[in-house]
Amino acid sequence: SQTIHQWPATLVQPVGSPLSLECTVEGTSNPNLYWYRQAAGRGLQLLFYSVGIGQISSEVPQNLSASRPQDRQFILSSKKLLLSDSGFYLCAWSDRANTEAFFGQGTRLTVV
Amino acid sequence: AQSVAQPEDQVNVAEGNPLTVKCTYSVSGNPYLFWYVQYPNRGLQFLLKYITGDNLVKGSYGFEAEFNKSQTSFHLKKPSALVSDSALYFCAVRGPSNSNSGYALNFGKGTSLLVTP
């Protein structure tokens, strides 16, 4: 069966520090991968998606970047965090049939 | 653009009563619609989906949803609510089929369901 791992679960970082959140998927090949951000416990905003290794598309301009160094690994990064980067970050995957997406448990990021 | 709307920020229902969480959609072409549930500080869990076929879709934990094309709605329902159903519920629609969004899901803003004993 397929599983998705996302870590860390919580993170407190000072303004201006770098960020690296990692997500890995097991039990599938060539997944579509996504990073979402959820602010204030509500709506989800799509940040990045990837349909293959090295292929990253950004949905909104921001202080963040994403990379996909391996087929089932998706990384969210920032060189210098802003206060506004605080939120709940969710990684998700879907298969090539492109129906439902499956989510990781999320990372609560607080920038102080 | 594909989008969904959840008109209610919160729904309150007594345990044992039926519940409905509303969702309307706006899509070009055939809609791919989904419901997810989120418990505090957790990821989203998939409940059910409508792709094609029967308008009444059954999903996890006793939930079901009815696809209504004429009303462009996909309301989530459960015949008898449980206190443990209290959570945040999201309706979602799949992105357009031209792959510009990698088939990412577009979510509604969520509806908080509170089931009281």
Domains in chain A: boundaries: 3-97
What is the model's pLDDT at position B60? 93
Domain count, chain B: 1
pLDDT tens figures, A41-58:
678 999 999 999 999 998
What is the model's pLDDT at position B53? 87
> What's the Rg (C-alpha) of chain B?
14
Q: How confident is the model at residue B34 (pLDDT cuts 50, 70, 90)?
A: very high
What is the model's pLDDT at position B91? 97
What is the model's pLDDT at position B101? 63
Residue A112 is classified by DSSP as -
Using left for φ > 0, alpha for ψ between -120 and 50, and beta otherwise, residue B72 falls in left
What is the model's pLDDT at position B111? 96
Pairwise CB contact (< 8 Å): A51 & B51: no
> Which helix H or strand E contains A54, and what residues bound it?
none
- pLDDT of A7 strictly over 60: yes
Q: What is the mean pLDDT of chain B?
A: 91
Residues of A whose CB is below 8 A from B103: 32, 94, 98
pLDDT tens figures, B58-78:
999 999 999 999 999 999 999
Residue B91 · residue B75 · CB < 8 Å: no
How many cross-chain Cβ pairs, A to B, lie less than 8 Å apart? 61
Residue B13 · residue B117 · CB < 8 Å: no
Pairwise CB contact (< 8 Å): B102 & A104: no
Mean per-residue pLDDT, A20-46 = 91
Among B47, B52, B85, B88, smallest CA distance to B67 is for B52
Pairwise CB contact (< 8 Å): A34 & B44: no
Q: How confident is the model at residue B29 (pLDDT cuts 50, 70, 90)?
A: confident
Instruction: Please indicate whether residue A62 or residue B36 has the higher confidence score (pLDDT).
Output: B36
Pairwise CB contact (< 8 Å): A94 & B103: yes
Query: Which residue type occupies A8?
Result: P
Residues of A whose CB is below 8 A from B1: none
Best interface-test mutation with A: which of B4, B9, B44, B50 has the largest number of A CBs within 10 A?
A: B44
Q: What is the mean pLDDT of chain A?
A: 92
User: Who's near B40: CB < 8 A, 6+ residues apart?
Assistant: none
- The CATH H-level (homologous superfamily) assignment of domain A3-97 is Immunoglobulins (2.60.40.10)
For chain A, which residues lie within 8 Å of any Cβ of chain B, measuring from their own Cβ? 6, 32, 34, 41-44, 46, 49-51, 57, 59, 88, 90, 92, 94, 98-106, 108
- In angstroms, how far is CA B65 from the centroid of its own chain? 7
- pLDDT of B37 strictly over 60: yes
| Closest chain A residue to the Cα of B31, Cα to Cα | A99
Pairwise CB contact (< 8 Å): A43 & B109: yes
- What's the domain range around B56? 3-116
pLDDT tens figures, A56-108:
998 887 889 999 999 999 999 999 999 999 999 999 999 866 578 999 999 99
* Tally of CA atoms within 13 A in the half-sphere of A49 that contains its CB: 20
